[in-house]
Amino acid sequence: MRRIATTLAGLVCAAAFAAPAAAYEVDPMTGQPFNYYYGQYYRPQASAMPRSVVPFSGRFGPGMIVISTTERRLYYTLGNGQAIQYAVGVGRPGFEWAGTKTITMKREWPDWRPPAQMLRRRPDLPRYMSGGMANPLGARAMYLGGSLYRIHGSNEPETIGQAVSSGCIRMANEDVIDLYSRTRVGTRVVVMR
């Protein structure tokens, strides 16, 4: 009986660690599973609202990003009256903004250098942080030209759906990876309040 119990315990333990890499969705940019970084698997972030294709009407053509800060939603327009909807975190009171920008740069696992304005408010912040799991910019960043703002991932997934940032648009890492793969430099971004 003891031998059977030991064998079963070993099988259960082996099964827990034997998940094949094919069980993970693969990042088309890197060929790595989305939840694989620095040689380790990490737990995917749970989105405040799973991304989904929704009806979307308006004057926006396909391939644009439209952000509603009041809804705390980002829409990637597909055309034909549809868009992919993502939950986002937005600027806290005093850091809200609206306008039209263009993605001028894209980075995977970006480094972070807090802007001077942020360092004046928070002198405790590091002056530089290399890209990685602990980095506030998360897995991807899309830089909005002519501003200090970005659409980026997050190391604080619990803030998605809230107004807590210094004006940047935060997304769950899995969502920002998906959006990043759909956009290009030059993509128009419309932020509405």
What is d(CA 129, CA 111) in angstroms, rounded to the nearest whole number? 6
Catalytic residue among 168, 169, 172, 176: 168
Number of C-beta neighbours around residue 93 at 10 A = 7
pTM, rounded to two decimals: 0.75
What is d(CA 26, CA 23) in angstroms, rounded to the nearest whole number? 9
pLDDT tens for the chain, 193 residues long, are 444 444 333 333 333 333 333 344 544 444 544 454 434 444 455 555 789 999 998 889 999 999 999 999 999 999 999 999 999 999 999 999 999 999 999 999 999 998 898 899 999 989 999 999 899 999 999 999 989 999 999 999 999 999 999 999 999 999 999 999 999 999 999 999 9
Domain 52-192: give its CATH code.
2.40.440.10
The answer to whether 168 is a known catalytic residue is: yes
Pairing of strands 169-170, 150-152: parallel
Query: Domain ranges in the chain?
Result: 2-35, 52-192
Pairing of strands 150-152, 140-144: antiparallel
Catalytic residue among 101, 106, 140, 152: 152
What is d(CA 79, CA 62) in angstroms, rounded to the nearest whole number? 4
The answer to whether 89 is a known catalytic residue is: no
User: What CA dihedral angle connects 57, 60, 62 and 66, to 10 degrees?
Assistant: -90
